[in-house]
A and B are shown apart, each in its own frame.
Chain A
Amino acid sequence: MEMEVWALIMFGVVIAALMIGFPVAFTLGAVSMVFGGIFLGFGFFELLPMRIWGVMTNFTLLAVPLFIFMGIMLEKSGIAEELLETMGLLFGRVRGGLAVSIVIVGALLAATTGVVGATVVAMGVIALPALLKHGYRTELATGTIAASGTLGQIIPPSIVLILLADVVGVPVGQLFAGAVIPGFLLITLFIVFIMIVAWRKPEYAPAINVKKLQAERGDSSLWVAVITSLVPPLLLVVAVLGSIFFGIASPTESAAVGALGAILLAIVRRRLTMPNLQGSMRQTTRMTSMVFLILIGATAFGLVFRGMGGDMLVEDLMMELPGGVWGFLMVSMLVIFILGFFLDFIEICFVVVPIIAPIAIMMDIDPVWFAILIAMNLQTSFLTPPFGFSLFYLKAVAPPSVRITQIYRGVVPFIIIQLSVLGLLIAFPDVVTWLPQLMDEMQGFG
């Protein structure tokens, strides 16, 4: 058998080995080591430290720990709880309003933290009991939370988009800009869906007695509460994204300023205690290390895969697909969707995307558009039963009375919405590319 074919076999072996459940980073590295040692000789791995060095000196990737720090710090400042509470008060009096407020808070948290697991867990803990208590149908409540919590994939500034930008080879700012309109589209459609349900089936999404809630939390004015809880994080997100979009600061720089802003916010809210600070620092260290160790393992995999000619084989196969560009798009999206059941975003981003992105670029596919399609696709994949990550996260924190089948059923309409948007982006690439192009032009003038 030829070596290229063995490269494909290695891909299969990696997926199988990952199923054992040992940490991804080392599984990737070890399998690559075996195949590389057999087919290319161990001397080949002299290239590996140089690639690791490339990661260490990459100034854009520096944005990752900074954004993680910003997200965790905001979480520790208790902003999520307060947002959920005040938004609930604001919208709760309307049928379906409580669920709508969860979509909005989810989007806002997504924009600040961008870590899917964290958002789903936070909202599952805080919002799910509230929704159920007020008589929301379990399916609608869990579906809303899972879908809104997963928005962190696509809504900038997301860690996912930073890593994708690095792998695909486009500026981070371009990807952030490209994700804005699709992200808003999703949020809008989620809200529209909830409103329709509340209108057709009032018993699924009842209005809540706001007066009673307000009495519970004392007499402070609702509008003051809304402003103090909504404005600071909103301001932070706008400042961070704005400075990137208008070319004032690099993503790394605005991430640092965002993190500093989060610290200041915590100080103002009297939440900057030593345990909170240490917790944020330690969690940031572990998440950063987790991400980049996978990158090291995936780098070993990529080196061996390419060294064995696997990339050429995949390229040849993709080129022979019927339908040319569309055939390639269909197949690559399907593969990513299915892998999204088993693998986390980081693994797909570092292992699979480097193989297919160069082919896309060779086929003259707009890399920004392609990257956004991948992000949107994965987001859907994470929501899809039976293996979607978000569903498991939610099940883990949901009250025991909530069955996984209810979560599965609840998320179906949201998956349909996501797939429709994905189809829309494929049919009309301008939805993605318009804003990045506009941004380019503006920066060109500035």
Chain B
Amino acid sequence: MTTENKNGLARLAQLAKGIECFGEWSGRCVSWLTLALVLLVSYDVTMRYLFQDGSVALQELEWHIFALIFLLGAAYTLKHDEHVRVDLLYHARWMSDRRRAWVDLFGTLFFLLPFCILIIVSAWPFVENSYTLGEHSPDPGGLPYRYLIKMMIPLCFVLLALQGIAIIIRSVQKITAGNSTASSAVNKVSQEQDA
């Protein structure tokens, strides 16, 4: 391998690391919303049953938060490899780490990234419409700026695609490093540090 190549790889590894850091950080931020959701819905229930005081804005805020959790948490979940796989083969005994890296590389290139692009492209008019119409909640007392929450759909898949790029880099690393045990050990250490 030439030094130039090595430099390029190192820079890519740096990029992957940056993406993963960002993914971890964003996921941790988003996770606070789950606690907020518990408290908010509990508060809402209490107010409604004890004081007969319901609020449309509050209810809308609740599903806004719900949507934020699963949309913005998606890339973070991908980073933790917790999107369910059918692991009959993937976790079979004869599958080496290297073969799994091939699956991840193939899947990210041909499944994840194209699907991300499809949704980003097809969601764009959906968001744009809402923006140009200045769409508000149709209910009186509802939340304004509906395009903001609609924009979370493409954003979810932008973040997923970004994480996908990190996966591609990591997979290539695993595949190329598979031959020399020394470098795979280095990889393992860096992964453990990430976890």
Contact = CB atoms under 8 A, between A and B. Distances in A.
Nearest to B86: A18
A61 B42 CA distance: 16
A284 B88 contact: no
Contacts of B118: 29, 33, 42, 45, 48
A273 B28 CA distance: 16
A387 B88 contact: yes
A214 interface: no
Secondary structure at the A interface, as helix, strand, loop or mixed, is helix
21 contacts: A21-B107, A22-B106, A22-B111, A24-B83, A24-B86, A33-B114, A33-B115, A48-B122, A56-B63, A57-B67, A69-B34, A69-B37, A259-B38, A285-B30, A285-B33, A286-B27, A287-B82, A289-B74, A290-B77, A293-B74, A344-B86
Contacts of A42: 118, 122
A260 interface: yes
Contact of B78 (A23, A29, A277): A23
B41 A286 contact: no
A347 B39 CA distance: 30
Interface in B85-103: 85-91, 100, 103
Interface stretch (A184-192, A250-258, A359-367): A250-258
Contacts of A280: 34
B158 interface: no
A269 interface: no
Given A27-B107, A27-B111, A285-B76, A19 B89 contact: yes
A288 to B, nearest CB: 5
Interface in A263-294: 263, 277-278, 280-282, 284-294
A46 interface: yes
Nearest to A279: B31
B113 to A, nearest CB: 9
B76 A289 contact: yes
Given A21-B85, A29-B111, A62-B62, A49 B153 contact: yes
B58 interface: no
B42 A281 contact: no
A26 interface: yes
A24 B83 CA distance: 7
A231 to B, nearest CB: 22
Given A21-B88, A45-B118, A294-B83, 9 more contacts: A23-B84, A24-B84, A27-B111, A42-B122, A257-B42, A260-B38, A277-B35, A282-B27, A290-B77
B153 A52 contact: yes
Contact of B73 (A19, A31, A286): A286
Interface in A109-139: none
Given A49-B123, A65-B34, A285 B78 contact: no
Contacts of B106: 20, 22
Q: Top 6 nearest A-B pairs by Cβ distance? A: A21-B90, A22-B107, A256-B41, A23-B83, A56-B67, A29-B115
B112 interface: yes
B126 interface: yes
B25 to A, nearest CB: 12
Contacts of B123: 48-49, 52
Nearest to A29: B115
A23 B107 contact: yes
A71 to B, nearest CB: 12
Nearest to B28: A282
A21 B70 contact: no
B166 to A, nearest CB: 15
A285 B72 CA distance: 9
Nearest to A52: B153
A59 interface: yes
Contacts of A69: 34-35, 37-38
Contact of A288 (B70, B100, B104, B110): B70
B80 interface: yes
Contacts of A45: 118-119, 122
Contacts of A284: 31, 34
B50 to A, nearest CB: 12
Nearest to B39: A260
A280 B119 CA distance: 30
Given A19-B86, A24-B83, A285 B45 contact: no
Contacts of B49: 248-249
Contacts of A257: 42, 45
Nearest to A345: B84
Instruction: Specify which of B38, B39, B41, B85 lies most central, judged by the most chain A CB atoms within 10 Å of its CB.
Output: B38
B140 interface: no
B63 A21 contact: no
Contacts of A259: 38, 42
A23 B167 CA distance: 13
A281 B35 contact: yes
A46 B129 CA distance: 12
B66 interface: yes
A174 B153 CA distance: 32
A289 B77 contact: yes
